[in-house]
Amino acid sequence: MRSEALYHLPSFVWQDGLPEGFKTSQDRSEGVGEALVDETFVNLHTHSEYSALDGYSTIEEMVDRVKAMGQSAVAVTDHGICAGHPQLQAICDEKGIKPIFGMEAYLVDDRFSREDLYSYQHLVLWALDDEGLLNLWAMSTESYRDGLYGKYPRLDYDTLKKFNKGVAASTACLRGPVAEPYLKGNAARAISNLSRLKAIFDDRLYMEIHTNQLPEQLRVNKWLVGRAKEFDIPLLAAQDSHYSEKCHRDDHQVWISMQIGKEVGGETNLFGGGQDYHLASEEEVIKALLYLGEEAAFEAITNTAVLAGRCNARIQPKVGLPRYSVGPDAEQQDIDKLFDLCLKNWDERISGKDYPEEVAVARFEREMTLLIKKGFPGYFLMNADLVGYAKENGVLVGPGRGSGAGSLVAYLCGITEVDPIENDLLFERFMTEGRTALPDFDIDYPSSRKQFMIAYAMKRWGEKRSS
């Protein structure tokens, strides 16, 4: 049974496209982080520049636009990726807007299948809390690690079952797992997919209805309203945003046409049909959904605020570096193992060089002191383990690329094959005392052996620690 507090729908008198007593966002000023149940429409289905090909908005443009409309929260749901999340939080915090972390996933029945490149469907996901945010990132990682096919990082129902805690979902757009089979005449498959999602997400599943006026969208929306009542799933209004303002529609079309090498308005162009895909005001959404009846329209719009109020995840500044060893003294074990590995290879890699050995000793001590202080010995050992396994099994590995080639410790433990002293390379390009950004090694394996190395990492450290 739906909560009366959230879903009791009063009777409205509609006037000029707006319900009597329906407060607009401009009439309110909710605090960031507070429940947004008294707010109405929130843009929850949006694409930023991190959505390859079709995301035209920068995150800052998106935040500025929703703030100008008087809205107090905004989500970013880029295609298959969560890379925009840190920027979203930083900009939202600066401008007093609540960030909502999401992703529009590519959903398939089997993420390991490579039979049909375009068999995927869309599913929108949002992090409700910090655990949900980590699970959302885990889904994205698994979709790239196991499900990448062509340019599409795909996940499946097994992924959703493993990582759904703290995550809300919706049925997405016309390409969603419910709408698409229904439009193809397979209502039974649509109901089956809806039942699978309901079993996984329970009261965290929403039925998404879109504002565009395409004939197929109008037909789908009416059918979805009926299924929402049948399955006791709350409706959720969505304007599938790919650019910030309505006036950007032509720019967006030209931009896409340039990328795909087609004329503007051609048959292969995306986003046809003369529809708008900007960040919508609540007045626009209300008017777009009136044909569904005031009860359904009100529920769908109000639930965007209800869901926004449930989404309270935050990116935490804590950085956890890996440990190679296990046990309560793992940190000290890692230090000892890295030191021993470097000494073991010292004679082979350092002795007999043209430069004085004292130079290498001084540099080794300087690097090790900083590595220990910053907690990196385990990270070095893991990379040395992976590179060593690759070399033992005939997998080609580059000799050293990027700033990591400037580390003597990396050379001594076998991660790189370039002597940084001999080649006058600076360790400070890789790591310094005051640097806050985490350095990393650029290790290249042939694409044909990538899965071989991933399988080893999963077996060596476990699936949860190998991504």
Task: Specify whether 211 is located in the same domain as 341.
Answer: no
Residue 252 above 90 pLDDT?
A: no
Using 50, 70 and 90 to split pLDDT, how confident is the model at 435? confident
Task: Give phi and psi for 364, each to the nearest 5.
Answer: -60, -45
pLDDT for 105-124, tens place per residue? 999 999 999 999 999 999 99
Task: Specify whether 357 is located in the same domain as 254.
Answer: no
Task: Specify whether 400 is located in the same domain as 302.
Answer: no
Task: Give phi and psi for 269, each to the nearest 5.
Answer: -70, 145
Predicted confidence at residue 272, as pLDDT, reads: 64
Compute the average pLDDT of residues 363-392.
Answer: 95
Cα separation, 73 vs 67, in Å, equals 8
Using 50, 70 and 90 to split pLDDT, how confident is the model at 383? very high
Domain count for the chain, please give it.
Answer: 2
How is residue 171 written in tokens? 């049925």
Using 50, 70 and 90 to split pLDDT, how confident is the model at 449? very high
How is residue 21 written in tokens? 């007593």
For residue 254, the tally of other CB atoms under 10 A from its CB is: 12
Task: Specify whether 81 is located in the same domain as 169.
Answer: yes
HSE-up of residue 59 (Cα within 13 Å, Cβ side):
26
**Higher per-residue confidence, 267 vs 350:** 350
Cα separation, 54 vs 79, in Å, equals 9
Domain assignment present for 199: yes
Using 50, 70 and 90 to split pLDDT, how confident is the model at 465? low
Boundary (domain end) residue, out of 279, 310, 341: 310
Q: Are 257 and 269 within 8 A, CB to CB?
A: yes
Pick from 250-259, 338-347, 364-373: least confident? 250-259
Compute the average pLDDT of residues 130-134.
Answer: 96
Using 50, 70 and 90 to split pLDDT, how confident is the model at 462? confident
Work out the mean pLDDT of the chain and round it to a whole number. Answer: 88
Using 50, 70 and 90 to split pLDDT, how confident is the model at 17? very low
Task: Specify whether 299 is located in the same domain as 350.
Answer: no
Residue 268 above 90 pLDDT?
A: no
Domain assignment present for 208: yes
Boundary (domain end) residue, out of 310, 345, 369: 310
Compute the average pLDDT of residues 354-369.
Answer: 95
What 3-state DSSP class applies to 267?
coil
Find the length of the chain.
Answer: 467
Predicted confidence at residue 265, as pLDDT, reads: 67
Task: Specify whether 172 is located in the same domain as 250.
Answer: yes
CATH of the domain at 220: 3.20.20.140
Residue 3 CA: distances (Å) to CA of 6, 203, 235, 390: 5, 11, 14, 56
Predicted confidence at residue 267, as pLDDT, reads: 53
Domain assignment present for 321: no
Cα separation, 134 vs 147, in Å, equals 19
Residue 307 above 50 pLDDT?
A: yes
Task: Specify whether 167 is located in the same domain as 289.
Answer: yes
Compute the average pLDDT of residues 354-365.
Answer: 95
What 3-state DSSP class applies to 7?
helix
Domain assignment present for 318: no
Task: Specify whether 303 is located in the same domain as 405.
Answer: no
Predicted confidence at residue 43, as pLDDT, reads: 97
pTM of the complete model: 0.72
Using 50, 70 and 90 to split pLDDT, how confident is the model at 65? very high
Using 50, 70 and 90 to split pLDDT, how confident is the model at 279? very high
pLDDT for 136-182, tens place per residue? 999 999 999 999 999 999 999 999 999 999 999 999 999 999 999 99
Pick from 128-132, 176-180, 269-273, 308-312: least confident? 269-273
Task: Specify whether 199 is located in the same domain as 337.
Answer: no
Predicted confidence at residue 285, as pLDDT, reads: 95
Domain assignment present for 325: no
Predicted confidence at residue 328, as pLDDT, reads: 85
- At 270, the amino acid letter reads L
Domain region containing 45: 4-310
Predicted confidence at residue 184, as pLDDT, reads: 97
Domain assignment present for 155: yes
Using 50, 70 and 90 to split pLDDT, how confident is the model at 317? confident
Single out the residue of 324, 296, 311 nearest to residue 383, CA to CA: 324
Task: Specify whether 348 is located in the same domain as 290.
Answer: no
Single out the residue of 375, 371, 400, 397 nearest to residue 386, CA to CA: 397
Domain assignment present for 414: yes
**Higher per-residue confidence, 32 vs 257:** 257
Task: Specify whether 135 is located in the same domain as 75.
Answer: yes
Boundary (domain end) residue, out of 251, 279, 310: 310
Domain assignment present for 50: yes
pLDDT for 223-245, tens place per residue? 999 999 999 999 999 999 999 98
Predicted confidence at residue 29, as pLDDT, reads: 32
Task: Specify whether 289 is located in the same domain as 343.
Answer: no
